[in-house]
């Protein structure tokens, strides 16, 4: 809101969504994964306070500057987290998928916006509820600290990418990290799904749409990847891609 108010940005603003309470099993299961030591009744307390929501693709459901009253759990779909400059320049700081948590930062207001890439199911918890739980379950706090720590390491890796890598190295790194993620979650193999647009990828890698597209083509012509559709690619030479990503060629 704050960030949007002072801008003539061409990107469109959010629509405020109405949140409805709704029961859901996978949601509680996810909360469980944060801390297996939590008692069932406490889980229930958290579950009671949560609300569910479907968000359409392209909808912004969290705005930089808004009071940080809730945190979110992506149940299904993909979202992008980003920051805007007054003139509309955009930097995507991360893509989040099913199972990821959003909004855990302990600041007064959100320091980023979030928008659905695909139709998304999300689960929203009040932060106060969480903080009360944290007081009772220190293990949960440790778990969150570990998560934050991993995110921080990832952020530093991304700084390396944005500050020092070439366009080719950036895209190779990105595709491989997506593939690694898919592998970690069971699926995978040599195909990677790209739910986001070329413009999103460019805004994540600090490039323009045109450059992103050109590098896709270039990697294809070099025999590193096959482009089945714009949103689905397949690795045909993962080794070369790995070398590219780490800057060895």
Residues that bind a copy of itself in the complex, under the rule CB under 8 A: 83, 85-87, 89-91, 93, 104-107, 111-112, 134-135, 138, 141-142, 144-146, 148-153, 155-160, 162-165, 203, 205-206, 246-248
> Is the CB of residue 74 less than 8 Å from the CB of residue 96?
yes
Q: Is residue 91 near DNA by the rule CB under 7 A?
A: no
Residue 20 or 221: the one with the smaller Cβ distance to DNA is 221
- Figure out which of the listed residues 56, 131, 136, 210 binds DNA, where binding follows CB under 7 A: 210
| 198-205 helix and 167-184 helix, angle to the nearest 10 degrees | 110
Per CB under 7 A, does 213 bind DNA? yes
DSSP for residue 206? T
Residues 17, 79, 247, CA angle at the centre, nearest 5°?
160
Judged by CB under 7 A, does residue 69 bind DNA? no
How far apart are CB 58 and DNA at their closest, in Å?
A: 7
Q: How many CB atoms within 10 Å of residue 44?
A: 12
Q: Give me the DSSP letters along 60-79.
A: EEE-TTSB--EEEEEEESEE
Query: Measured between alpha carbons, how far is 247 from 105 in angstroms, rounded to an integer?
Result: 32
Beta carbon of residue 217, minimum distance to DNA (angstroms, whole number)? 3
Q: Which residues contact 133 (CB under 8 A, 6 or more apart)?
A: 38, 42, 45, 46, 140
* Other residues' Cβ atoms within 10 Å of the Cβ of residue 5: 9
In the three-class reduction of DSSP (H, G, I as helix; E, B as strand; rest coil), residue 178 is classed as helix
- The CB-of-202 to DNA minimum distance in angstroms stands at 7
Beta-sheet pairing, 78-84 with 90-97 = antiparallel
Contact 113, 62 (CB under 8 A): yes
Q: Which of 211, 226, 237, 243 binds DNA (CB under 7 A)?
A: 211
**Closest distance between DNA and the C-beta of residue 218, in Å?**
8
Residue 87, Cβ density class (10 Å: 0-12 exposed, 13-18 middle, ≥19 buried):
exposed
56 vs 135, beta carbon nearer a copy of itself: 135
In angstroms, the CA 205 to CA 93 distance is 9
Minimal distance in Å, beta carbon 162 to a copy of itself? 4
- Per CB under 7 A, the segment of 94-102, 123-131, 183-191, 212-220 that binds DNA is 212-220
Site string for DNA, 144-183 (x = CB under 7 A): ----------------------xxx---------------
Binding mask 220-239 for DNA (x = CB under 7 A): -------x-xxx--------
Partner whose binding site includes residue 91, from a copy of itself, DNA, none (CB under 5 to 8 Å by kind): a copy of itself
Give me the residues that bind DNA (CB under 7 A), please: 166-168, 197-199, 206-214, 216-217, 227, 229-231
């Amino acid at each position: 809101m704050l960030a949007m108010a002072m801008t003539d940005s061409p990107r469109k603003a959010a629509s405020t969504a109405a949140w409805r309470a709704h029961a859901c099993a996978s949601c509680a299961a996810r909360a469980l994964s944060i801390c297996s030591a939590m008692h069932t009744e406490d889980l229930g307390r958290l579950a009671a306070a949560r609300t569910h929501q479907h968000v359409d693709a392209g909808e912004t459901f969290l705005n930089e500057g808004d009071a940080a009253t809730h945190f979110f759990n992506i149940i299904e779909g993909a979202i992008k987290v980003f920051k805007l400059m007054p003139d509309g320049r955009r930097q995507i700081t991360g893509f989040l998928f099913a199972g990821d948590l959003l909004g855990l930062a302990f600041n007064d207001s959100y320091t980023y916006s979030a928008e659905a890439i695909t139709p998304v199911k999300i689960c929203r918890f009040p932060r106060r509820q969480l903080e009360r739980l944290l007081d009772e379950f220190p293990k949960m706090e440790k778990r969150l600290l570990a998560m934050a720590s991993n995110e921080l390491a990832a952020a530093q890796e991304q700084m390396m990418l944005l500050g020092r890598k070439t366009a080719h190295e950036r895209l190779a790194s990105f595709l491989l990290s997506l593939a690694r993620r898919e592998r970690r979650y069971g699926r995978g193999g040599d195909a990677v799904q790209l739910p986001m647009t070329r413009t999103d990828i460019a805004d994540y890698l600090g490039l323009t749409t045109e450059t992103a597209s050109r590098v896709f083509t270039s990697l294809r012509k070099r025999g590193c990847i096959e482009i089945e559709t714009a949103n689905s690619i397949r690795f045909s030479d993962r080794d070369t891609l790995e070398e590219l990503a780490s800057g060895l060629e």
